[in-house]
Amino acid sequence: MEFLSDIASLINSTLRISTPLVFAAMAGIFAERSGVIDFSLEGKMLMAAFVAAVGSYYLGNPWLGLLLAIIVCVCLSMLHGFASVTHKGDQVVSCVAINILIIGLTTALAAAWFGQAGLTPTLNEDQRFLEIHLPFADALRDIPVIGTLYSDILSGHYVFVYLAYLSVPLVFWIVFKTSFGLRLRAVGENPSAVDTAGINVFTMRYKALAINGVLIAFAGAHLSTAVNANFFREMSAGRGYLALAAMIFGKWHPKTALIACLLFGFTDALQIRLQGVELPAIGEIPVQLIQALPYILTVVLLAGFVGKAIAPNAIGQPYIKER
Amino acid sequence: MVSPILELTNINKSFGHVQANKNINLKINKGTIHGIIGENGAGKSTLMSIVFGLYQANSGSIKINGKEINLRSPRDSIINGIGMVHQHFMLVENFTVLENIILGFEGETVFGEKLQKAKEDLEKLCQTYNFNIDLDATISDLSVGFRQRVEILKSLYRGAEILILDEPTGVLTPQEVDELFKILRSLKDEGKTIVLITHKLIEIMDLTSEVSVMRQGEMVGHTKTEDTSKEQLAEMMVGRSVLLRVDKKEIRKGETIFKVNNLSVKDDLDITRVKDVNLEICSGEILGIAGVTGNGQTELLEALSGIRKVESGSIELFGEKISDQNNFLNPRMLKEKGLAHVPEDRQRMGLISDFKAHENLIFGYHDQEPYSKSAILNNKEITEYSNKVMQEYDVRPNSPNLITSNFSGGNQQKIILSRELNENPKVLLVGQPTRGVDIGAIEFIHQRLIDMRDKGAAILLASVELDEILSLSDRIIVMFDGKIVGEKENKNVTDRELGLLMAGVA
Q: In what order do the strands lie in the sheet with B210-215?
A: B82-85, B162-166, B193-198, B33-38, B210-215, B218-224
The answer to whether the CB of B45 falls within 8 A of the CB of B197 is yes
The dihedrals phi and psi of A132, each to the nearest 5 degrees, come to -95, 125
Distance (Å) from the alpha carbon of B105 to chain A's nearest alpha carbon: 8
d(CA B6, CA B210): 14
- Tell me what the mean pLDDT of segment A198-216 comes to: 97
| E strand spans, chain A | 278-279, 283-284
Q: Do A189 and B108 touch (CB under 8 A)?
A: no
The answer to whether the CB of B286 falls within 8 A of the CB of B472 is yes
- What pLDDT is stored for residue A56 in this prediction? 97
Task: Report yes or no: A122 at the B interface, CB cutoff 8 Å.
Answer: no
d(CA B24, CA B300): 47
d(CA B388, CA B418): 11
Residue A282 has pLDDT above 80, yes or no: no
Q: Do B92 and A193 touch (CB under 8 A)?
A: yes
The dihedrals phi and psi of B491, each to the nearest 5 degrees, come to -130, 125
Question: What value does the CA radius of gyration of chain A take, rounded to a whole number of Å?
Answer: 21
The residues facing B264 across adjacent strands are: B312
- What pLDDT is stored for residue B149 in this prediction? 95
Confidence class for position A151, pLDDT limits 50, 70, 90: confident
- What pLDDT is stored for residue A304 in this prediction? 64
d(CA A162, CA A157): 7
- What pLDDT is stored for residue A306 in this prediction? 63
Task: Report yes or no: A180 at the B interface, CB cutoff 8 Å.
Answer: yes
Q: Find the helix or strand (DSSP H, E) in which A126 lies.
A: none
d(CA A139, CA A133): 12
Q: Do B93 and A189 touch (CB under 8 A)?
A: yes
The answer to whether the CB of B23 falls within 8 A of the CB of B43 is no
Spatial CB neighbours of B117, under 8 Å, sequence gap ≥ 6: none
Q: Find the helix or strand (DSSP H, E) in which B15 lies.
A: strand B6-15
- Closest of B145, B134, B138 to residue B93, by C-alpha: B138
Coil, helix or strand for B480? strand
From the number of C-beta atoms within 10 Å of its C-beta (0-12, 13-18, 19+), residue A137 rates as middle
C-alpha distances out from residue A232 to A51, A220, A268, B195, Å: 12, 12, 20, 65
Residue A279 has pLDDT above 90, yes or no: no
- What pLDDT is stored for residue B250 in this prediction? 85
Least confident range from A270-274, A313-317, B444-448, B474-478: namely A270-274
Q: Do A198 and B76 touch (CB under 8 A)?
A: yes
Confidence class for position A1, pLDDT limits 50, 70, 90: low
Contacts of B15 in chain A (CB under 8 A): 322-323
> What is the percent of chain B where pLDDT is above 90?
63
Q: In what order do the strands lie in the sheet with B339-342?
A: B339-342, B427-431, B458-462, B285-290, B475-480, B483-489
pLDDT in tens, A225-247: 999 999 999 899 999 999 999 99
d(CA B389, CA B395): 8
- Tell me what the mean pLDDT of segment A190-212 comes to: 96
DSSP string, A142-205: TSTTHHIIIIIIISSB-HHHHHHHHHHHHHHHHHHHBHHHHHHHHHHH-HHHHHHTT--HHHHH
d(CA B329, CA B398): 35
- What pLDDT is stored for residue B227 in this prediction? 95
Coil, helix or strand for B277? strand
Q: Which fold has domain B256-350+424-502?
A: Rossmann fold (3.40.50)
Residue A297 has pLDDT above 90, yes or no: no
pLDDT in tens, B457-487: 999 999 877 778 888 999 999 998 899 999 9
Domain segments of chain A as ranges: 2-119+148-305
Task: Report yes or no: A33 at the B interface, CB cutoff 8 Å.
Answer: no
Contacts of B94 in chain A (CB under 8 A): 189, 313
Confidence class for position B364, pLDDT limits 50, 70, 90: confident
Residue B62 has pLDDT above 60, yes or no: yes
C-alpha distances out from residue A136 to A4, A5, A10, Å: 20, 19, 22
Residue B312 has pLDDT above 90, yes or no: yes
Q: Do A197 and B103 touch (CB under 8 A)?
A: yes
| A2-119+148-305 classified as CATH 1.10.3470 | yes
**Pick from B54, B106, B406: which is nearest to A182 by CB?**
B106
Task: Report yes or no: A5 at the B interface, CB cutoff 8 Å.
Answer: no
Interface test with A, best of B18, B45, B89, B92 (most A CBs within 10 A): B92
The answer to whether the CB of A56 falls within 8 A of the CB of A128 is yes
Q: What is the sign of the dihedral through the CA atoms of B439, B441, B447 and B453?
A: negative
- What pLDDT is stored for residue B283 in this prediction? 95
Q: Do A179 and B111 touch (CB under 8 A)?
A: yes
Q: Do B15 and A322 touch (CB under 8 A)?
A: yes
> What is the percent of chain B where pLDDT is above 70?
98
User: Which carries the bigger pLDDT value, residue A18 or residue B253?
Assistant: A18
The dihedrals phi and psi of A191, each to the nearest 5 degrees, come to -60, -30
Structural domain B6-238, CATH architecture: 3-Layer(aba) Sandwich (3.40)
d(CA A272, CA A290): 8
**Pick from B74, B76, B94: which is nearest to A197 by CB?**
B74
**Pick from B53, B94, B108: which is nearest to A189 by CB?**
B94
d(CA B476, CA B490): 6
Confidence class for position B506, pLDDT limits 50, 70, 90: low
Confidence class for position A118, pLDDT limits 50, 70, 90: confident
Confidence class for position B40, pLDDT limits 50, 70, 90: confident
Q: Dihedral angle at the C-alpha atoms of A293, A296, A297, A303, nearest 10 degrees?
A: 180
The answer to whether the CB of B35 falls within 8 A of the CB of B80 is no
Least confident range from A129-143, A241-255, B296-310: namely A129-143
Residue A308 has pLDDT above 70, yes or no: no
**Pick from A179, A192, A198: which is nearest to B109 by CB?**
A179
Contacts of B110 in chain A (CB under 8 A): 177-179
The answer to whether the CB of B233 falls within 8 A of the CB of B210 is no
Residue B334 has pLDDT above 80, yes or no: yes
- Closest of A170, A160, A165 to residue A30, by C-alpha: A170
A298: left (phi over 0), alpha (psi -120 to 50) or beta: alpha
Distance (Å) from the alpha carbon of A241 to chain B's nearest alpha carbon: 27
**Pick from A177, A189, A323: which is nearest to B15 by CB?**
A323
Domain segments of chain B as ranges: 6-238, 256-350+424-502
The dihedrals phi and psi of A268, each to the nearest 5 degrees, come to -70, -45
- What pLDDT is stored for residue B436 in this prediction? 75
d(CA B412, CA A280): 72
- Tell me what the mean pLDDT of segment B228-234 comes to: 88
Confidence class for position A20, pLDDT limits 50, 70, 90: very high
**Pick from B52, B74, B91: which is nearest to A190 by CB?**
B91
Residue B1 has pLDDT above 60, yes or no: no
Q: Find the helix or strand (DSSP H, E) in which B74 lies.
A: helix B74-79
- What pLDDT is stored for residue A132 in this prediction? 92
Confidence class for position B182, pLDDT limits 50, 70, 90: very high
The residues facing B431 across adjacent strands are: B462
Could you tell me which chain A residue has the CA closest to the CA of B79?
A: A198
From the number of C-beta atoms within 10 Å of its C-beta (0-12, 13-18, 19+), residue A8 rates as middle
- What pLDDT is stored for residue A235 in this prediction? 94
The answer to whether the CB of B485 falls within 8 A of the CB of B479 is yes
Contacts of A175 in chain B (CB under 8 A): none
Q: How far is CA B144 from the centre of its chain?
A: 17
- Closest of B442, B438, B394, B446 to residue B415, by C-alpha: B394
Interface of B with A (CB under 8 A): 15, 52-55, 73-78, 84, 86, 88, 90-95, 99-100, 102-106, 108-111, 406
Contacts of A200 in chain B (CB under 8 A): 73
Coil, helix or strand for B444? helix
d(CA B197, CA B28): 13
Q: Dihedral angle at the C-alpha atoms of A286, A289, A292, A297, nearest 10 degrees?
A: -140
Could you tell me which chain A residue has the CA closest to the CA of B18?
A: A323
Question: What value does the CA radius of gyration of chain B take, rounded to a whole number of Å?
Answer: 26
- Tell me what the mean pLDDT of segment B232-261 comes to: 83
Residue B242 has pLDDT above 70, yes or no: no
d(CA B64, CA B78): 12
- Tell me what the mean pLDDT of segment A106-111 comes to: 94
From the number of C-beta atoms within 10 Å of its C-beta (0-12, 13-18, 19+), residue A97 rates as middle
- Closest of A67, A63, A64, A69 to residue A50, by C-alpha: A69
pLDDT in tens, A160-197: 999 999 999 999 999 999 999 999 999 999 999 999 99
Distance (Å) from the alpha carbon of A33 to chain B's nearest alpha carbon: 13
Q: Do B91 and A179 touch (CB under 8 A)?
A: no
Interface test with A, best of B97, B103, B150, B353 (most A CBs within 10 A): B103
Which ipTM score applies to this complex? Answer: 0.90
